[in-house]
Amino acid sequence: MTVQQKKDKNREMSFYKNNYEHLADELKKLDLLIQLRTAAFRLKIQAMQKTAASQHMYISHEEVDWLLSQNDPFVADHPDLQKIRNQLEILQNEINTRVNTTIERGVFLALPKLASLFGLSPFELQTVIICLAPELHRKYDKLYAYLQDDITRKKPSVDLVLDLLCETEVDRWRARTIFSGHASLFRAGILHMTDDPQSPSGSSGLARFLKLDPRILNFLLGNNSIDARLVGVAQVYNPPSTMDHVLVDPLIKTELLNFARNHFSAQKAVKKRLVFYFHGPYGVGKRDLALGICGQLNCPMLCLDMDLLLAHGSDVETLLRPAFREGLLLQAALYLGDTDVLLKEDDKAKSFFKKLAKVVEEYGWLTFLAGEKPWSSRGIFEHTTFHVIKLPVPDVPLRVMAWEKALKNQSVGTGKEFAAQLANQFRLTPGQICDAAEFAQNYRASKNGQDEITLPDLYTACRNQTNQKLSELAVKIEPHYSWEDIILPEDKVAQLKEICSQVKHHYRVFGEWGFDQKLSHGKGLSVLFSGPPGTGKTMAAEVIAHELQLDLYKIDLSGVVSKYIGETEKNLSKIFQEAETGNAILFFDEADALFGKRTEVSDAHDRYANIETSYLLQKMEEYEGIVILATNLRENIDEAFTRRIRFIVEFPFPDEASRRRIWQTHFPKKAPLGEGIDYEFLAKQLQIAGGNIKNIVLNAAFLAAENGGIIGMEHILHGVKREFEKIGKLWSKKELNKFLNSKSGGRP
Ligand code: ADP
C-alpha cells in the first residue's frame, strides 16, 4: 500500500459514510461482547468440571459450590478474556471517534440520535443494540438461545443484557434500574417488556424478554414512515422554503419567527419546551403560519386530527404519546388545531388537556395549538414557554392577494378585476376566500352553458361563507328594492347614496389614506333613520343592501334586550361578531327601546339599560359595516346618542306628489289594471304613508283576483276601507260617498 493509499484509507476510516456502516460496527462490538461472555462461560465450565468429579442429573454439591464461587478472579482475569476486552476497547474508541467526526459532517447516525433525543445512557443504548441485532441477523437468535442455555429463548431477556454488559454482580444490580417501567427506554416505548411465553406467570424480572418497538426499529434503519398507530390520525407536512405564501400580517410573521429563532438559538443554555397558541377565526391561516415557521426552522410539521384523537376517549394517551414521540423522531413540530373543544369545562376536556400537557412536557419541543377563541394556559404547562398570538381577519391588501390566488385559475382578467372589489366588500379570511371561490366555481359548473365565474356568483358565494349563525339572532331580509322603487325627496336619496359610497371607499380612506390611525373609534358607519311608520325606512335599508350586494339583517331590539342582566350584551356581542365577516348591514328596528330618553335612573334595571346602550354604541363604532337604527320618533332618542351617529336621515311623510308616485310604482307591470284608476285622486284624498298604500294595493289585487280579474278603482277603495279599519281611521259610507262624489266631480 502506498503512502497516499494509506492516507486515503485512514481518512475513510475516520468517519462513517452512512448509518449502516455505523450499525455494522456496533454489531461487531456486540459480537465481541458475546465472545467475551461465551469465553467466560466456557472458562467457568472448565473450572467447574475440574472441581466436579462427575456429572449428575440432579444438582450436585460441587455445582452448588461452583455457583457460589462464580466470581472467581481466576476466570475474570483470564488472559483470553483480557484479550477480548482489549479488542473491545479499541473498537469502542474507534467507533466513538468515527461517530463524532461523522456527526460533525452532518451525516445522520440513528443510534447516537436516538440517545440524544431520549437522553439514553451508553448502557441503555447498548441494550437497544442487543435488541436490534436479532432484527438484523438471524444468527443472534441462535447465539441468544445458546447464551441463555435454552433453545426456546431466542429473544434477548433482561438477564441476557445484564450478562452481556455487566462484569460483576454489583454492576448487574445497579443496572437493574434501567429496566423499571418508569425508565426512559420503556416510558418512551423504545423497548417493550414481555413475559416468557413458556412460563408467563413464573417469569422473574430477569427472565422477561425485551422487544424493540417497530417504529424505533424503522428509525434505526433510517426509515421515516410514521408510527403505524398514527396512520389516519396524524399527517406529516413538509414546509415550503419561504413564508411569502402565508397570508398573515407581515408584522406578526416577523415577530413570531424572531421569537422562535431566539428561543431555539444555540446560545441559550436552558431550552424549555415552546408552545404557541394561535387564535383567530376559521381560515385565518393558523396552520399555514405554523407550517411557514417550521419552514424557517427547517423542520417538518406533524398535524394531529383533533376529532380522531378525542374519539379515543380515555385511551387518548395511547395515541398522544406516540404522536409526540414521532415529533421527536422526525424532528417535527406538532400541530393540534381545533383546540376550542379543550376549553370546555367538562371532565373529558380537562383530562385530555392534562394528558396533553404531560406529553408536551416530555417530548414536545415545539408545539402549535390553534383554536378560534382566546385562551391563556393558566399554568397548565409547566417548564414550558407559552406564547399566544392573535390572528385577526387580514386587511384589504392581504385579502386582495388571497382573492387573486384563489381566482388564479379562472379565465384571464377575472382574478385581478374582481379581487379588489371582493376584498373590499367582505371581511373574509383567506380560508373562506378559497372556499368561496370553490363554491362559485361549483355553482357555475352546475349552471350549464357559460363556464366563466361572474361577479354575482362570487357575491353569492361570499355571502354563503358568512353570517351562518346570524339567522338565529336576526331576520334576514332579501333585498329586492332598488333606487327606482323608493320615492323620496332628492336630497334624501342623495344622502342614501352617500352612505353607499362611504362603504365602497371605506378601505381607501381609512386604510390607504391612514384615517384609521387618526381615529381611535368611530370608523363604523352608524346611521339613524327616523320618520313615521311606513315611510320607507326599511325599504331604504333594502335599497342600500341591494346596491352594495350585502346581506341585510333586521334585529328587533325588543327581542334582544333581555331582562336578565348581562344577557343583552351577550346577544348584541353575538350579533356583531357574526355579522362582521360579511359586513352585513344591521338594521335595528324600534331603536327607541335602547336609545330612548331617560330622565333619571330610577331603578337597577335602568342602570343596566344604560350600560347596554353604551355597549351597543361601542359595538356600532367598532363595526366596519353599516348599522342602521330606525325610529318612528326622533325626539325620543337621546341627544347624547344622536351626536355619535354619522348619518341621520329623516323620512318625511310623503306629500301629494310623492304619494301619487308611490301609488303608481306599487302596481307591477304585469298586473291587470282597469282604465279608471285615478292616482291624482288617491294621492290627494288619502293622506297616508307608503306602508298603507302598499297594503291597500295588495288587498285590492286579491279582491280583483276574486272578482273579475281586473284591478279597478272599486277594489282599491275597498282596500282603503280595510286599511282604515285596521289603523283605526273611520271610514263611513258617508265618507266613501263623499270621496266618490268628489271623484266624479273632480273628473272631466
Ligand atoms: P318603515 O320602515 O318606515 O316603517 P317600510 O319601509 O317598511 O316603512 O315601508 C313599507 C312599505 O311601504 C314598503 O315596502 C313600500 O312598499 C312602501 N313604501 C313606504 N315608503 C315608501 C317610499 N318612500 N317609496 C316607495 N314605497 C314606499
Give tens-digit pLDDT for 341-375. 877 777 777 788 888 888 888 888 899 999 988 88
Whether residue 747 is predicted with pLDDT greater than 80 in this model: the reply is no
> Which pLDDT score, from 0 to 100, does residue 148 have?
85
> Which pLDDT score, from 0 to 100, does residue 143 have?
93
Q: How would residue 746 be classed by pLDDT, with cut points 50, 70 and 90?
A: very low
Residue 162 near ligand 1, beta carbon < 6 Å = no
687 C-alpha to ligand 1 centroid (Å): 15
Give the mutation target among 544, 588, 663, 694 for probing the ligand 1 site: most ligand atoms within 8 A of CB.
Answer: 694
Q: Whose CA is nearest to atom 12 of ligand 1?
A: 691
Residue 394 near ligand 1, beta carbon < 6 Å = no
pTM above 0.85, yes or no: no
Give tens-digit pLDDT for 638-648. 777 778 888 99
CATH number (3.30.1490.20, 3.40.50.300, 3.10.580.10, 2.40.30.270) of 228-390 reads 3.40.50.300
Any idea which of 242-246, 556-560, 619-623, 681-685 has the lowest mean pLDDT? 556-560
Q: Whose CA is nearest to atom 11 of ligand 1?
A: 691
Closest to 571 in 3D by CA, of 579, 528, 628 = 579
Residue 486 near ligand 1, beta carbon < 6 Å = yes
Residue 662 near ligand 1, beta carbon < 6 Å = yes
Q: Whose CA is nearest to atom 6 of ligand 1?
A: 536
Residue 690 near ligand 1, beta carbon < 6 Å = yes
Q: Mapping DSSP to helix (H, G, I), strand (E, B) and coil, where does residue 367 land?
A: strand
Q: Whose CA is nearest to atom 20 of ligand 1?
A: 536
Q: Whose CA is nearest to atom 16 of ligand 1?
A: 694
Residue 479 near ligand 1, beta carbon < 6 Å = no
Residue 230 near ligand 1, beta carbon < 6 Å = no
> Which pLDDT score, from 0 to 100, does residue 646 have?
87
Residue 535 near ligand 1, beta carbon < 6 Å = yes
> Which pLDDT score, from 0 to 100, does residue 58 have?
63
541 C-alpha to ligand 1 centroid (Å): 10
595 or 355, which is more confident: 355
Whether residue 568 is predicted with pLDDT greater than 90 in this model: the reply is no
**Mean pLDDT, to the nearest integer, of 29-46?**
87
Burial class (CB in 10 A: 0-12, 13-18, 19+), 511: middle
- In 602-645, the DSSP E strands lie at 626-631
Alpha-carbon gap, residue 588 to 555, rounded angstroms: 5
Any idea which of 452-466, 488-502, 605-619, 722-736 has the lowest mean pLDDT? 605-619
Q: Which are the contacts of 304, defined by CB distance < 8 A and separation ≥ 6? A: 233, 234, 323, 334, 335, 336
Alpha-carbon gap, residue 444 to 438, rounded angstroms: 10
Kindly report the backbone phi and psi dihedral angles of residue 398, in degrees, each rounded to the nearest multiple of 5, phi listed first. Answer: -70, -35
Give tens-digit pLDDT for 74-103. 566 788 888 999 999 999 999 999 999 999
Q: Whose CA is nearest to atom 27 of ligand 1?
A: 690
Q: Which atom of ligand 1 is nearest to the CA of 532?
A: 3
691 C-alpha to ligand 1 centroid (Å): 5
Residue 280 near ligand 1, beta carbon < 6 Å = no
Alpha-carbon gap, residue 439 to 103, rounded angstroms: 51
State the cell numbers at 401: 392577494
> Which pLDDT score, from 0 to 100, does residue 51 have?
58
Whether residue 289 is predicted with pLDDT greater than 50 in this model: the reply is yes
- In 270-351, the DSSP E strands lie at 273-279, 301-304, 333-336
Any idea which of 396-400, 556-560, 576-580, 729-733 has the lowest mean pLDDT? 729-733
Q: Which atom of ligand 1 is nearest to the CA of 487?
A: 24
Residue 322 near ligand 1, beta carbon < 6 Å = no
**Mean pLDDT, to the nearest integer, of 471-488?**
87
Q: Whose CA is nearest to atom 5 of ligand 1?
A: 536
Can you state the angle between helices 139-147 and 122-136, rounded to 10 degrees? 120
Give domain limits for the chain.
11-220, 228-390, 396-465, 490-650, 656-742
609 C-alpha to ligand 1 centroid (Å): 30
Q: Which are the contacts of 483, defined by CB distance < 8 A and separation ≥ 6? A: 493, 543, 547
Alpha-carbon gap, residue 332 to 605, rounded angstroms: 56
690 C-alpha to ligand 1 centroid (Å): 5
Give tens-digit pLDDT for 208-241. 899 999 999 999 999 989 999 998 889 999 998 8
708 C-alpha to ligand 1 centroid (Å): 29
> Which pLDDT score, from 0 to 100, does residue 57 have?
53
Give tens-digit pLDDT for 681-740. 899 888 899 999 999 999 999 999 998 889 998 899 889 888 888 877 766 566 666 666
Give the mutation target among 539, 664, 667, 687 for probing the ligand 1 site: most ligand atoms within 8 A of CB.
Answer: 539
Q: C-alpha distances in angstroms, 663 versus 303, 418, 658?
A: 64, 39, 9
> Which pLDDT score, from 0 to 100, does residue 408 have?
82
CATH number (3.90.1150.10, 3.40.50.300, 3.10.129.10, 3.40.50.2000) of 490-650 reads 3.40.50.300
- In 373-463, the DSSP E strands lie at 384-390
Give the mutation target among 535, 592, 698 for probing the ligand 1 site: most ligand atoms within 8 A of CB.
Answer: 535
Alpha-carbon gap, residue 45 to 151, rounded angstroms: 19
Q: C-alpha distances in angstroms, 212 versus 194, 233, 654?
A: 11, 23, 89
> Which pLDDT score, from 0 to 100, does residue 611 have?
61
Residue 511 near ligand 1, beta carbon < 6 Å = no
Q: Whose CA is nearest to atom 14 of ligand 1?
A: 539
Locus of grid cell 423497548:
191
Residue 537 near ligand 1, beta carbon < 6 Å = yes
> Which pLDDT score, from 0 to 100, does residue 745 have?
45
Alpha-carbon gap, residue 299 to 302, rounded angstroms: 10
| 545 close to 585: Cβ distance less than 8 angstroms | yes
Residue 536 near ligand 1, beta carbon < 6 Å = yes
**Mean pLDDT, to the nearest integer, of 153-168?**
90
Task: Domain 656-742: state its class.
Answer: mainly alpha
| 692 close to 727: Cβ distance less than 8 angstroms | yes
Closest to 587 in 3D by CA, of 462, 487, 477 = 477
Q: How would residue 414 be classed by pLDDT, with cut points 50, 70 and 90?
A: low
Residue 697 near ligand 1, beta carbon < 6 Å = no
Q: Whose CA is nearest to atom 10 of ligand 1?
A: 691
Residue 694 near ligand 1, beta carbon < 6 Å = yes
State the cell numbers at 90: 479499541
The answer to whether the 228-390 and 656-742 domains have the same CATH topology is no
Q: Which atom of ligand 1 is nearest to the CA of 539?
A: 6
**Which residues are registered as beta bridge partners of 589?**
556
| CATH for the stretch 396-465 | 1.10.8.60
Locus of grid cell 398573515:
248
45 or 456, which is more confident: 456
Q: Which atom of ligand 1 is nearest to the CA of 541?
A: 6
| 693 close to 662: Cβ distance less than 8 angstroms | yes
The secondary element (H helix, E strand) that includes residue 269 is: none
Closest to 135 in 3D by CA, of 217, 215, 196, 219 = 217
